A and B are shown apart, each in its own frame.
Chain A
C-alpha cells in the first residue's frame, strides 16, 4: 500500500463550488505539505503543517484553506473554486530527522470549469 494517498485522483468541478482534497499518510511523519503544480512553474507551496496544532501559509495560499484532522490527515479546501485553480495538486510528508526529504502522494488533477 502507498505511504501517502490522495483522494480523489481526478475531479472536475464548476466555478464557485467548494472542493475538498484529502491526503492521508501511514509514514508516521509530523510534517505535511500541499503543493500545486502548473506547467513550467514546478511545484509551489500552498500550506504546510508541522503538527496537528501548527498550520502555516505557503507561497500561494490565497483562495485555499486547510485542516489537519490528525497526524495522518491533511485536507485542502477550495472554498469557491475558480478556473485558474485548475492544476495538479500534491500532498507531501517529511520527518525532521530526514533533513528536507519529502515523500509525495500520487497527486489530484483538478479541473475547474
Chain B
C-alpha cells in the first residue's frame, strides 16, 4: 500500500522569502502525485499534479513541484511567498489502479511573517 510523509508539521517563512515543502511517498510503481492547499474555512484546492513526463510541474498561484524518483520525493516550491499563501498544504499519492483513490500526508501548516 502507498503512504505519504510530510516531515514538517509547521513552517514559518517571511513574506517574500522562498518556500519549499517536503513530501516523500512510498509506492512500488510510478505514482500519481498531487499537492492540495486548504485555506482557513475552505475545502481543499488542487495546486498541481504529476502523472508522467516532465518532472517539474507548474501549478496555480506560482507554485511548482519536482518529482524525483530516486528520492521518492515530490517537494513543493515557490520563489516568493505572499501573506495569502498562509494555509495548510497536503501532498497526496494515487496508486495506478481503479478507483481514483488518494492517500494523503499529514499536512504542513504554513505561516507567513510580515
Q: Which residues of A contact B (CB under 8 A)?
A: 4, 31, 40-45, 48, 50, 90, 92, 94, 96, 98-107
Contacts and interface: CB of A to CB of B under 8 A. Distances in A.
B114 interface: no
Given A101-B46, A104-B44, A42 B100 contact: no
A104 B104 CA distance: 14
22 contacts: A31-B99, A40-B9, A42-B4, A42-B90, A42-B104, A42-B106, A42-B107, A43-B90, A48-B99, A99-B32, A99-B100, A100-B34, A100-B49, A100-B102, A101-B34, A101-B46, A102-B100, A103-B46, A104-B44, A105-B43, A106-B41, A107-B43
A48 B100 CA distance: 10
B74 to A, nearest CB: 14
Interface of A is mostly: strand
Contacts of A44: 104
Interface residues of B, number: 24
Interface of B: 4, 6, 9, 32, 34, 36, 41-46, 49, 51, 90, 94, 99-102, 104-107
A104 B43 contact: yes
B89 to A, nearest CB: 11
**Residue of A4, A42, A104 ringed by the most chain B CB atoms within 10 A:** A42
A100 B100 contact: yes
B42 A106 contact: yes
